[in-house]
Amino acid sequence: MRIAFKMKLHKGFEDEYKKRHDRLWPELEELLKTTGISEYSIFLDSETNFLFGVLKAKDPSALNNLPSNPVMQKWWSYMKDIMESNPDNSPVSIPLKEVFYLP
């Protein structure tokens, strides 16, 4: 199943966001893959600083376990200074509804 969502990057942190993802922690990459996530992309709308994420998940319900994982919590804490975040440091993430797909 494909899942899409949007998040908000603070202005002026575009390069830093890219840099941090270019150096994605191996333990985070492993966590995402073992959770069944693949083909994960994040796009930036430079006019609004919205980030648009798209990923494939073998079992979308498995994503519910990510927030309690220490690696995910550590990543969120690392990213909270450059993007809109919730009190638990998770990014404010708004699900997007698919309206068109061309397989």
DSSP assignment letter at 48: T
Residues 29-57 as b/e (b if ≥16 CB within 10 A, e otherwise) read eebbeebbbeeeebeeeeeebebebebeb
Q: Which of 2, 18, 19, 21 is catalytic?
A: 21
Q: State what percent of residues in the chain have pLDDT above 90.
A: 100
Domain ranges of the chain: 2-95
48-63 pLDDT, tens digit each: 999 999 999 999 999 9
Domain 2-95, CATH 3.30.70.100 — does that match?
Answer: yes
Catalytic residue status for 21 = yes
7-35 pLDDT, tens digit each: 999 999 999 999 999 999 999 999 999 99
